[in-house]
Chains A and B, each alone.
Chain A
Amino acid sequence: MVYRVSHVTSYRYAQAVSICHNEARLTPRTTSHQKLLRTQLLVEPTVATHDRGVDYFGNVVHWFSLQEAHTHLDVTAVSEVDISRFQAPAAALSGPWEHTRDRLREDRSAEALAAYEFVFESPHIRFDADLIAYAQASFPRGRPLLEAVLELTRRIHKEFQYQPGSTTVATPLREVLRARRGVCQDFAHLQIGMLRSLGLSARYVSGYIYNQPKEGARGLTGADASHAWVAVYCPDFGYVDFDPTNGVIPSDEHVTLAWGRDFSDASPLKGVILGGGEHTVSVAVDVARV
């Protein structure tokens, strides 16, 4: 399935900004089932410096800066990706979840060390006894890993209310857990926190979701904006994605942009400005089949 994604971020400033530095993770990754066909990043006004590179987690990053006074900034990323249908492995074959936990602690292969990155607390993820308590119901002794994670994904989908505006990026996980509501970012952080506090490796994935234009049918939540979900490391299968906001294992409707330990590693666009006074920002995302 080929998708064309356009992601436009527009800043408007009350006063002139004299200098601005940005870091963009707006280029989709290439994965085992996602191929990047073409991609383009447009910045207006013209940038003074631009660097393209790869960060610690292998995400493509564009660093750019503007050094002339400006009162607006438009960043437009347009990409085409070809996504093949992801066939989730039979959950029952994934082995008891404790095996994954123990193996992560022991294995020093490059693959296992890379997965070990995603076992610890990170800037947006703090462990908490309540997180473990919630997760444990889905993780009885000996249960196959993927089966347990899928059930946890569905429980979050069912028991938490999707409510834009109910949280901010600063809302702590325990608060999300208490209020049982939030947005995709919160649910991803929440599930990651639960999995990691059990000793499992879970990473944060940022991207988009395709919303099929069907008459009267309810599409997937999180379309027309950037989306976030979770990938869990399973030694014999690699990483398997789970989308707690929709309660599903993504197949061929999730476009992967970047990943990291949490939002702070993978946010699509970061910036620091000098001056500017009050500013407004608007984001427009469009995912279309080609």
Chain B
Amino acid sequence: MTQSQSQAPSYPPEGFRYAPRSSVYDEAFVPSGEPRAHYAELWHGVEELGPPEISKRWEQGRRLIRENGVTYNVYGDPRGMDRPWVLDPIPLVLAAKEWNDLARGLDQRARLLNALLADLYGPQATLRERLLPPELVVGCPAFLRPLHGIEPPAGVYLHLYAADLARGPDGGFWVLGDRTQAPSGAGYALENRIVVSRLLAQLFRDCKVERLAPFFSALRESLANLAPRGREQPRVVLLTSGAYNETYFEHAYLARYLGYSLIEGADLTVRDQTVYLKTLGGLERVDVILRRMDDGFCDPLSLRSDSSLGIAGLVRAVRRGNVTIANALGSGLVESPALLAFVPALCRRLLDEELELPSVATWWCGEEPALRYVIDHLPELVIKPAFFGPHAPEPVFGGALSVEERAELARRIQARPAAFVGQEQVALSTAPVWAGESVQPRHASLRAFVARAGDGYVALPGGLTRVSSSRNSLVVSMQRGGGSKDTWVLASGLPSSLSLLKPAGGRIEIVRTGADLPSRVADNLFWLGRYAERAEGTARLLRSVIMRLTDDTLGARSPELAVLLHALEVTTEVAAGSLTGPPGSVRLERRLFELLVESDHRTLRATIEATFRAGSMARDRLSADTWRVLTQLHDQVLEFELRQRLELQDGLESLNRLVLGFSAFSGLAMENMTHGPGWRFADIGRRIERAFHGARLVRSTLVAADAPAAFEGILEVADSTITYRSRYRGFVAFEPVLDLVLTDETNPRSIAFQLVAISEHLDALPRSERGVGLPPAARTMLRALTSIRLADFATLGRVSAGGRREKLDELLACLETDLPLFADQLTLSYLAHAEPSVSLGTLEDKGV
């Protein structure tokens, strides 16, 4: 496409002179430049808005996406975690008639693949009848033999199926690939719709676009009906492979939208061949698992023994019919690219129907004539692996290779023909994409979804449209940096106004207990609380120290500096006395920088990274705002790395921002999290940390009789200077200081305050054990709190012959033992089921 600068008519407006390429189909325009009929309304509206307005809304969209935390993880890129999702503001539009044909074709294809799975995991007639080469089954890594002979409820293997579609130059749709085991993208499609329907609210209404919600409620209903025992409120969970999965955002998003718990393998346990969720309140039976984990990883006992993600015994529970998995374990077998070559004949045999939606021409090289064809036509083909799997080769565009590279590729194919397919390189259609200041054609492909409903499948009216990253790129992949579009299917009738957020029919029981919080999530929240408190404390201390070192008016030689440095030693667990030196000491400054930017043990940076990790493991329990603050804090730490040389002053600026970020984080946690068990665990974590460091600091400063010099410093560390001044004016003395930091239950920074708060949390937590008397953790906490309440100031203040306050030392030493003991006991009674499973090696493993 070339744009001539000389022609500049006033209409269409600048930036909208869109010239589709002649060689391919354009979704929006006919070759003469007129918009297609079903695009006319949208395009007219877009033109009316004009480029500056579109540009503004595009920015708005980007902000919404950042704020909603929509991300996509890119593998092999250290900064690829949580990359913002890329969304184009101009939707892809499909006409009603065209969509209905497509939906019928998708329904047929899903029924076909379902029937094929039933045959391959059963009688295998298609192999004996030579409809399918046996290599594609018995030679395929996705054929899971332990699942052979298990028929899922109602014979349904596929509950959710997706197809990657491309439109060829003749305007017809082709299937590029099938997604049968855990199709991703429906959640992103939903998020794209939410953003674009806000950006283009009026146009969205005017165009009468089909709603997406009915599809998800059909999916939800179909999953609820799968419960093996027809329970009234079956428990459906969404199984994720974890925060490092490329589409983790979507797992969390869908779980929330569908109202399912987002769980990991370690949250589940199999007992009596039944699957249970490990919660704070005990074990809860699970009826249906919507999985977003590859099937080979789902059971380390019967499937891949190297899997650390799965649930031991799951296959047995499935065989017993005690749990239903969607899609069924083993469904990955029919997403092999090699299968595409055999689909038409299979359709005739298994469904007795002609295939409606063709696959892109595919040759499986395991057959001699196909191999010859592929070798002879390499420049026109895309070479792909025949099967997905750990050893699958990367797709290669034959046309992009040099003569030598092609010869090399041919040799590799001939060495292992069965491992490759050749696929016709489809000239993907183009669609208009907003490129920042003008509209340009980019290649597009559509991932469309269907869900099981009754005997057939209903389609998601829309889908995830992906576009290539640059004008000339043919690769349409989020991994390779492409973007996405909302997909509008124009309604044939009136669009339904159903939204899942107001579920139709049936009252939902109000639940407030939160006892079904998975233990692992509670554990992560507990650590999130601890790390966040530790990080905030470290940041505050570093700030106070650096402020004194850089500003003479604050009195760099003031006695509290020594206390602050000592407190920093306590918090970061560096050797006592390692942070000393006169102001301006190069050694001291270097040490402080290390505490800020190095990533060892307990530096500020390491602690913030640990906070972020704990947060990302419990991300579905955090509000979008909380997560955003956490991400920003983490980003700031990453910035440290980019600085070659830091000045003390720069450090101060960073610390100011970090302290502010942590204040926001604590505020959000307090205000925005429901005060259920999850919040309680986070808060217990925070208070344990605060009490423990408080006790250590007081012990190492106030036990020595010559303490007065330290009073001011202790008050500052405990953030209690203002309270002290308002109560006692200027005079600083041992007893009032000790009262304020240790025993005053009204001071939110005192140790007693933390213990009172923890005791209250303990009372409110669900209790699984029914024993007589207090549980061990509550007993320990009561002892600690009572020892403070019973303390007598005269005794605590008494100075021994050795110049030490022995009784105070004793009291604090007890606290230093009791608090970690309490944390262990708490873990044992509530979080112990969070331990990971281990595969047993047998002696045979070591070789005989």
Interface of A toward B, CB cutoff 8 Å: 9, 11, 19-23, 48-49, 51, 55-57, 63, 65, 67, 108, 110, 113, 116-117, 119-121, 123, 126-127, 129, 164-169, 171, 182-186, 222, 225-228, 263-265, 267-276, 279, 281-283
Contacts and interface: CB of A to CB of B under 8 A. Distances in A.
> Most A CB atoms within 10 A — which of B130, B134, B415?
B134
B127 interface: yes
The 10 closest A-B pairs by CB, nearest first: A272-B312, A271-B840, A56-B145, A120-B139, A183-B847, A283-B843, A225-B848, A21-B313, A21-B312, A169-B845
Contacts of B312: 21, 272
A272 B837 contact: yes
Contacts of B838: 272-274, 276, 279
Nearest to A110: B128
Given A120-B139, A279-B840, 15 more contacts: A21-B313, A48-B271, A48-B272, A49-B273, A113-B127, A165-B847, A168-B845, A169-B844, A269-B842, A270-B839, A273-B840, A276-B838, A281-B841, A281-B842, A283-B844
B846 interface: yes
Nearest to A10: B843
A188 to B, nearest CB: 11
Interface of B: 124, 127-130, 134-135, 138-139, 145-146, 148-149, 269-273, 300-302, 304-305, 312-313, 316, 391, 415-416, 835-848
A273 B305 contact: no
Nearest to B841: A281
B416 A127 contact: yes
A11 to B, nearest CB: 7
B842 A268 contact: yes
A32 B135 CA distance: 28
A196 B838 CA distance: 33
Residue of B313, B415, B842 with most chain A CB atoms under a 10 A cut-off: B842
B843 A281 contact: yes
A12 to B, nearest CB: 12
B302 A267 contact: no
A119 B134 CA distance: 11
Contacts of A222: 848
B408 to A, nearest CB: 15
Contacts of A63: 316
Given A65-B313, A108-B128, A269-B842, A185 B847 contact: yes
A86 B837 CA distance: 44
Contacts of B847: 164-169, 171, 182-183, 185-186
Given A56-B145, A185-B847, A283-B842, A271 B301 contact: yes
A227 B843 contact: no
A222 B138 CA distance: 31
A120 B138 CA distance: 8
Contacts of B272: 48-49, 67
A272 B839 contact: yes
Given A271-B839, A276-B838, A108 B130 contact: yes
A275 B835 contact: yes
Contacts of A19: 269, 271
B843 A9 contact: yes
27 contacts: A9-B842, A19-B271, A21-B301, A48-B272, A56-B145, A56-B146, A56-B148, A67-B271, A108-B130, A113-B138, A120-B139, A164-B847, A165-B846, A168-B845, A169-B841, A185-B844, A226-B844, A264-B305, A269-B842, A269-B844, A270-B840, A271-B301, A272-B301, A272-B840, A274-B835, A274-B836, A275-B835
Contacts of A67: 271-272
Nearest to B139: A120
Contact of A23 (B271, B301, B304): B301
B270 A21 contact: yes
B305 A113 contact: no
A120 B135 contact: yes
A253 B134 CA distance: 35
A78 B149 CA distance: 29
Contacts of A166: 847
Nearest to A51: B316
A53 to B, nearest CB: 8
Nearest to A11: B840
A116 B366 CA distance: 14
Contacts of A183: 847-848
Contacts of A22: 301
A222 B836 CA distance: 35
Nearest to A267: B844
B411 to A, nearest CB: 12
Contacts of A167: 847
Contacts of A185: 844, 847-848
B139 A119 contact: yes
Contacts of B844: 169, 185, 226, 263, 267-269, 283
A146 B361 CA distance: 42
A76 to B, nearest CB: 14
A171 to B, nearest CB: 8
Nearest to A184: B848
B267 to A, nearest CB: 13
B302 A23 contact: yes
Contacts of B270: 21, 65
Nearest to B296: A123
A120 B845 CA distance: 22
B301 A55 contact: no
Nearest to B127: A113
Contacts of B271: 19, 48, 65, 67
Given A108-B128, A116-B134, A267 B842 contact: yes
Contact of A113 (B124, B843, B846): B124
A227 B844 CA distance: 9
A178 to B, nearest CB: 16
A26 to B, nearest CB: 11
A116 B132 CA distance: 14
A11 B848 CA distance: 18
B840 A116 contact: no
Nearest to A57: B145
A186 B848 CA distance: 9
A13 B269 CA distance: 20
B827 to A, nearest CB: 13
Contacts of B302: 23
A108 B127 contact: yes
Nearest to B836: A274
Nearest to B269: A19
Nearest to B312: A272
A57 B845 CA distance: 21
B848 A274 contact: no
A164 B301 contact: no
Nearest to B316: A63
Contacts of B846: 165, 168-169
A171 B846 CA distance: 10
B412 to A, nearest CB: 12
A48 B273 CA distance: 10
Contacts of B841: 169, 281
Nearest to A283: B843
A265 B302 CA distance: 9
B145 to A, nearest CB: 4
Contacts of B835: 274-275
A222 to B, nearest CB: 7
A117 B127 CA distance: 12
Contacts of B301: 21-23, 270-272
A20 B139 CA distance: 32
Contacts of A127: 416
A259 B190 CA distance: 48
B548 to A, nearest CB: 48
A65 B273 CA distance: 9
A110 B123 CA distance: 11
A63 B127 CA distance: 31
A274 B837 contact: yes
Contacts of A121: 139
Nearest to B320: A51
B802 to A, nearest CB: 43
A273 B316 contact: no
